[in-house]
Every structure is written in structure tokens, then in C-alpha cells.
Amino acid sequence: ARKRAPPIAAGAAWAMLEACFDSEFGGTWLRDMTLAVFAKTKSAMFVQQGSLTINAGTQYLNALETKAATLVFTDNTLHSLRFIGPPYTFGFDPKGANGGIRSPNAAKALYGRVYWMGKKDFFVYDGAIRVLPCDVLNHVFDDINTQQSAKVYAGANQNFGEIWWLYPADDDPECSNYV
């Protein structure tokens, strides 16, 4: 049986999308935005007909699948997308207005929790959004190249239970520092 992914669209995300991967039609890239209601699960994007819109934030940045729900990040908010059954099938549950993510790759799941770099803090989600304490917080956020912050990348080291963020500092055009 084919796994059906939930549909997602967020605010100005429509303008960001140029194509979506469609598993239902033989794995082709669709450019018809009337079908482009999407969800990012694992490493592919899946399309379904219908619509479901997040009316918060200005752009969709990422969706991360967890055991309990799919977490949907915008630039300003975090939502949980859950199966709720007919007639709407899926629904959004707002988790926090201050839980936005810095870049599409700035979140990582580890041991049932999701960690991400926001605009001014590091966060963890384990059912609720919490600010992650960080001794070098001011150094990182005072030093980050905000013009290149879309390049921030999160990685997980499962052997040691670590989350790392790579980020461009000062005038560097590429990731040059980590925390």
C-alpha cells in the first residue's frame, strides 16, 4: 500500500514553489500549481489534490516528519500537521508563534525531539516548544552572516546525542563556523 503524505501550503510558499514531486503519477515533477499542495516527508515531496493553508508566517521553510506528527516550519511559526479523519483528513495545530526556523535545513530530529536554529534562539520540540540553553548564544547570533543565513545546516551525531549547526559567519559566503 502506498503511503499518502499530508497536503501542506503556507502563505507565500506558493511563490517559492516551481515544481513538486508527485508519487501518485509515476514519480514525475509537476509544475501545475493547482495540484501543488505539498508535504516534505523524508527526502521527497509528495502531492495530493486539495488545499490546506497555514495563515501564519510569510513563507513555508520545512516540514519534518516525527512519530507523532509532521512538524511544519514557517519563517515565524511552528505547526503540527495531524491526521484528523474525514471530512478534512488533515489539520494544523499551532505550536508557537515564536518558533520560526532560520533556514530550510536548520532542523534535525534526534531521539524523539526536534531541534532547530531560529532567528535569535535555538529551540527544541518534545510536545512543546522550549528555548534550548546555549552558553555561546550571543557569539553565534552576533556573528552569523544574516545575508547567507539560508545556508544554515543542522546535523545529528546519534552516537553522542549531539546536534550541530553549521553557519556562515561575518562576511563568509559559505558555512565557516559551527556550534
Q: Which residues pair with 131 in a beta bridge?
A: 123
For the segment 79-88, the average pLDDT, to the nearest whole number, is 75
Q: How far apart are CA 167 and CA 170, in angstroms?
A: 10
Single-letter amino acid code for the residue at 139: H
- The model's pLDDT over 25-54, given as tens digits with 9 standing for 90+, comes to 444 444 333 333 343 333 233 334 345 666
